Structure formats: structure tokens, C-alpha cells
Homo-oligomer: A and B are copies of this chain.
């Protein structure tokens, strides 16, 4: 646990982010819960460990992580943003029945089109929607 804390702290320092307790806890949560949690999910779970936690801190921290490129936001639906630790290339599938979001691996590097030759591409997202096997 102490070692893990050091690792997370170092990861934040690399990104020029001061490793406060709350920030480390959020990063830890995102590492352990790679299930595309929403702000509410992160807040509710962490609040049990940190009773004084504020939802503003979650928003601040996530926006900070976003700007520094630590995480990605998934806007697969228009009501609630989901957050994702950046790992390898993968797409997201959202089940329209149960609402769960699934990963699937996809090589985003193959997506290049001459039409965007003059564009600077910073981020690529692939979103599928449909029904998952359990709901079918």
C-alpha cells in the first residue's frame, strides 16, 4: 500500500500535478475501477473512505487529469460523462438496455484518412451502441 501510494504519487509528479491525498485516491480508484465510472460513482465510493470529500474535488481532479492527458472522457451518452484511465487503444460499446459500457480492442492507428491530411488529430474515439449478450 505504501509502495503503491508512492507509485501513484510519482505518476502525478511526472505530470506536474501536486500529489494531494484526494488526487492520489481518485487516481487509485480509476486504476482499480476501469469500468468507466461516472462522477457520482467515484464520489459515492470514495466518500466512504474520505467522509469529508466534496463532489467539487472530484470534478476539479478529473478536469485536472483530463488536461494533463492522464484520463479520457467518454461522452457516449448526453446525460452523464464517464471517465477512463488511458491504457491501450480500445473502443467503447454501450448497451442501450442495461447501460453498461464495454471495452473492445481496436487499433485506432489504422484510422487515417486523406481527407484529414491538413488536420492535427489529437484524440480518436470509437463508440458503438447496441444490445449486450446478457440483455439479448
Residues of A within 8 A of B (CB): 73, 75-78, 81, 91, 93, 96, 102, 104-106, 111, 113, 115-116, 118-133, 136
Give Cα distance in the complex from A96 to B73, angstroms.
Answer: 14
Contact B111 A122 (CB under 8 A): no
Contact A128 B128 (CB under 8 A): no
**Given A124-B126, A124-B128, 15 new contacts (CB under 8 A):** A73-B78, A75-B75, A75-B77, A91-B111, A105-B113, A119-B131, A119-B132, A120-B136, A121-B130, A122-B129, A122-B130, A123-B129, A125-B125, A125-B127, A125-B128
Chain B residues with Cβ below 8 Å from A136 are: 118, 120
